């Protein structure tokens, strides 16, 4: 979505939301009054922009300094760009391993979430059977409760099923907790697709399964992308679940995800503890931020749509 600076009629405005690039802003006329009345708000906007960007930039630049430099010249550029810090962070601080684990869990988690939620949503949206509404509301109920209520018993459930302290367990739990909102979102999406296409497929002799995978899923692509991005960010950022369900298996913490691994490092890191430890920590933060920022920049509109739809549910 983009803000629309130029005048549009209300109808066009709502139709355009999220579907077309913003038209060019009107040419600015810098009269004195204009400079003053636009200038004061601009000062606030720039100030907040700096408050957002500078800490992130500080992390990035510090990650390329030596530990000593982080102390002695906090605002300057690094004397020599220590790209080696990233290698150290990746290998000795085991962040590479955390990163790899996170990618595995999130990729599997998101794909399975998409598969399961679209299956359930499709059936709930398009097939009438006794209990349909009941199951739909049962899924919805999961959106209302805070994760905290479930966390203690969840430890026991996963332990009993052999899913404690391992990545497969995490994937399954992520998928389960992603289902309520995804089913809710995709049910509405499938309901909005034209019924005639499925009817036509049936007449051509396609079965229920073929109709779903070859006709309906491709049609649902925009909805799947939105919900996929939504879940990618949600699962990548998850902290509570891995912290509780994925406790360290060994000294290297080889089963950790990025968020819990970095939090664990942060809680143990002291500025003086080793030659590059703080710089490594900063490098780790950068490594954790890059994928989500990249996804946001590429899918900007979808991310905003998906997340705001999540809030307005």
Cβ closest to another protein, residue 25 vs residue 222:
25
Report the alpha-carbon distance of residue 275 to residue 307 in Å, rounded: 41
Candidates 79-87, 88-96, 189-197, 265-273: pick the segment binding another protein (CB under 8 A).
265-273
Minimum gap (Å) between residue 138 Cβ and another protein: 7
Minimum gap (Å) between residue 180 Cβ and another protein: 7
Q: Where in 176-195 is the site for another protein (CB under 8 A)?
A: 176-177, 179-180, 183
Q: Where in 223-262 is the site for another protein (CB under 8 A)?
A: 233, 236-237, 239-240, 243-244, 258-260, 262
Q: Where in 84-113 is the site for another protein (CB under 8 A)?
A: none
220 belongs to the binding site for another protein (CB under 8 A): no
SS3 call for 20: coil
127 belongs to the binding site for another protein (CB under 8 A): yes
* Residue choice 71, 81, 83, 100 for contact with another protein (CB under 8 A): 71
68 belongs to the binding site for another protein (CB under 8 A): no
Report the alpha-carbon distance of residue 167 to residue 107 in Å, rounded: 12
Tokens linked to 22: 């913003």
Place of tokens 């990249």: 294
Return the exposure string of 210-224: e unless at least 16 CB atoms fall within 10 Å of the residue's CB, then b: ebbeebbbeebeebb
* Residue choice 138, 197, 200, 275 for contact with another protein (CB under 8 A): 138
Q: Which residues have CB under 8 Å from 1's CB, separation 6+? A: 17, 18, 301, 304, 305
77 belongs to the binding site for another protein (CB under 8 A): no
Residue 132 neighbours by CB distance under 10 Å: 13
Candidates 76-84, 92-100, 213-221, 283-291: pick the segment binding another protein (CB under 8 A).
283-291
153 belongs to the binding site for another protein (CB under 8 A): yes
150 belongs to the binding site for another protein (CB under 8 A): yes
Q: Where in 16-55 is the site for another protein (CB under 8 A)?
A: 17, 22, 25-26, 28, 33-34, 37-38, 41-42, 44-45, 48-49, 51-53, 55
Report the alpha-carbon distance of residue 178 to residue 121 in Å, rounded: 13
């Amino acid at each position: 979505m983009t803000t629309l600076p130029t005048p549009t009629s209300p109808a066009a405005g709502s139709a355009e939301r999220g579907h077309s690039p913003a038209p060019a802003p009107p040419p600015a006329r810098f009269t004195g009054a204009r400079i003053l009345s636009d200038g004061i708000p601009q000062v606030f906007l720039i100030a907040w922009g700096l408050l957002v960007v500078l800490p992130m930039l500080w992390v990035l630049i510090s990650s390329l300094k030596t530990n000593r430099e982080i102390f002695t010249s906090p605002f300057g550029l690094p004397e020599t760009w220590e790209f080696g810090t990233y290698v150290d962070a990746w290998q000795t601080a085991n962040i590479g391993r955390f990163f790899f684990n996170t990618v595995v869990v999130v990729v599997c988690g998101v794909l399975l979430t998409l598969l399961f939620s679209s299956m359930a949503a499709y059936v709930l949206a398009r097939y009438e059977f006794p209990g349909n509404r009941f199951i739909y509301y049962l899924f919805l109920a999961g959106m209302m409760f805070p994760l905290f209520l479930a966390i203690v018993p969840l430890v026991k459930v996963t332990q009993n099923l052999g899913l404690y302290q391992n990545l497969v367990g995490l994937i399954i739990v992520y998928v389960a907790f992603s289902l309520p909102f995804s089913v809710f979102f995709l049910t509405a999406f499938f309901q909005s697709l034209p019924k005639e296409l499925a009817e036509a497929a049936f007449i051509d002799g396609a079965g229920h399964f073929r109709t779903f995978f070859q006709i309906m899923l491709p049609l649902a692509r925009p909805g799947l992308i939105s919900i996929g991005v939504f879940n990618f960010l949600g699962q990548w950022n998850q902290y509570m679940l891995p912290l509780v369900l994925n406790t360290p298996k060994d000294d290297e913490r080889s089963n950790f995800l990025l968020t819990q691994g970095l939090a664990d490092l942060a809680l143990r890191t002291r500025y003086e503890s080793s030659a590059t430890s703080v710089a490594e920590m900063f490098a780790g933060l950068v490594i954790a931020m890059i994928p989500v920022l990249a996804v946001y920049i590429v899918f900007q509109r979808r991310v905003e749509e998906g997340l705001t739809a999540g809030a307005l549910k």
